[in-house]
Amino acid sequence: MKYDIILVVWNDALSFDGEEFRKETFSLCPTVQVGLLTKEDNGILQLCYGFSTDVVSPECDYINIPSSLITYRKKLGVFDFDTRSVL
């Protein structure tokens, strides 16, 4: 399988001092995320940002990012999972 490698800048909600998310205690902060685009559906991008290329049991760490929060997006290349190479 081949996956696009993308970079996105998005507005992530951050809470102050580990408090609950309330109007007074959070802000939107630009966040940079790079990963393999594994799914794009219903206004949500699913990026794999860390993974193992183990053939028997590959594991991935995912983040789901709402498209509405993305302020910049750029394709950096393509990752071929079968050959473990960047195209």
Please state the pTM of the whole predicted model. Answer: 0.78
The mean per-residue pLDDT over the stretch 69-74 comes to 96
For residue 55, pLDDT beyond 70? no
Concatenate the DSSP letters of all residues of 14-61 into one string. Answer: EEGGG----TTTEEEEEEEEEEEEEEEETTEEEEEEEE---SSS--EE
The mean per-residue pLDDT over the stretch 24-47 comes to 89
The mean per-residue pLDDT over the stretch 54-60 comes to 69
Topology adopted by domain 2-81: SH3 type barrels. (2.30.30)
At residue 80 the predicted structure's pLDDT band, cuts being 50, 70 and 90, is very high
The mean per-residue pLDDT over the stretch 64-83 comes to 94
The mean per-residue pLDDT over the stretch 17-44 comes to 82
